[in-house]
Structure 1
Amino acid sequence: MTEYIALLRGVNVGGITVKSADLRDLFESLGFTSVRTVLASGNVAFEHGGREASAKVKARIERALGDRFGYEAWIVLITRERLAAVVGAFPFDERLEGWHPYVLFGSDAEHLEALADAAGELDPGDDVVVAGDGVLYWHNRRARGIDSAFAKLAAKAVYKRTTTNRNLRTLHKLLAP
């Protein structure tokens, strides 16, 4: 049995509404077990006992999301074990007052590299970005939030199909039993 976490990109924003109960029902209809949604931003923890490769599981979920909710779905599919390693490697003080702890996930290594390179020009008083193993760790000053230089860069259309970010607190909730 493999424990997975699916991080959906772009749901419950921009007119794409997916209710947690509907999302849970969809994953259960695909034969997954122990399905649990976390928050209303497209986070699903589940188990899969099949021998299907992760890439096929990911493609099957994306196709089902698109069919059911009428949008071009893209997800990050990660094992619970891998997510725990990513969270455990967070290089900043996640409890630092006045800062948001984020992890930016991506499916295109070139896009992650471009974002990491651009991060070298950021004001470290607002955004600090460090490359991790297939992710970017991002500390964002709360007072700047989505108006920060890195937030605006990461939101560019070129990155929308290949990246999604999550607050570290959400990732901890996904890892909780």
Structure 2
Amino acid sequence: MARFAAFLRGVNVGGINLAMSEVAAALTGAGFANVRTILASGNVLLDSSSGVAAVRQTAESALRERFGYDARVLVYDIDTLRSIVEAYPFEREVDGYQSYVTFVADTAMLRELAELAQQAGSKEEICAGPDPGVIYWQVPKGSTLNSTIGQTMGKKRYRSSTTTRNLRTLDKVLR
């Protein structure tokens, strides 16, 4: 059995409201072991003997069946997640700024988002990360939705293959 982090896209924001206890029950019912949710924003730790792709497919199917919404889940083994967080290229704690990791499942979208670094304002940092595909970014507090990445990520076409987490949230997932 391997440990995985599963990140549910768009949960408890934008109209998809799920109780994390019910999410844990659905994933346990789908055959995952040691299911634990972290915060109310769709962060789940679970154990499985399957690989990343199978965990993603099973989790999405279980959530669609249980809750009736078009579930999108990005899954990483715990060691990969730890490497992603450790590779954060900017200063982690900057007063007045938020530090984020955007997980990107589609390589074409990853390239598009990485190119936004050239368009970013002087107060926003954007950098592509290591495989399996992440965008690191840092933005002043209060301007996340108006930032270069925030405005781009709000477009419908990015919803199925991206999700963003605050670096502090990822630290909690890894504890």
Unpaired runs of 5+ residues, structure 2, are: none
1:29 aligns with 2:3: no
What TM-score do you get using the length of structure 1 for normalisation?
Answer: 0.93
Match of 2:97 in 1: 99
Q: Deviations over 1:20-74 (max 9, x none)?
A: 11011112112222211011110001112x2x33212211110110111111111
Identity %: 38
Aligned pairs (5 A) from 1:1-177:
1-48=1-48, 50=49, 52-125=50-123, 127-133=124-130, 134-176=133-175
User: Given the two structures, how large is their TM-score scaled by the length of structure 2?
Assistant: 0.94
Number of residue pairs the alignment of both structures matches: 173
- Pairwise CA RMSD: 1.1
How far off its partner does 1:119 sit?
2.4
Distance in 2 between residues matched to 1:39 and 1:174, nearest whole Å: 9
Contact in 1 for aligned 2:20/2:40 (Cα 8 Å) = yes
In structure 1, C-alpha distance between the alignment counterparts of 2:51 and 2:86, rounded to whole Å: 25
Q: Which amino acid aligns with 2:59?
A: I
For residues 80 and 3 of structure 1, what CA distance do their matches in structure 2 show? 6
Unaligned regions of 5+ residues in structure 1, if any? Answer: none
Runs of 4+ residues deviating >4 angstroms: none
State the alpha-carbon separation in 2 of the partners of residues 88 and 112 from structure 1: 20
Contact 2:116 2:126 in 1 (8 A): no
Q: Secondary structure at the match of 1:21?
A: helix
Cα drift, residue 103 of structure 1:
0.2
Contact persistence 2:27–2:63 (CA under 8 A): no
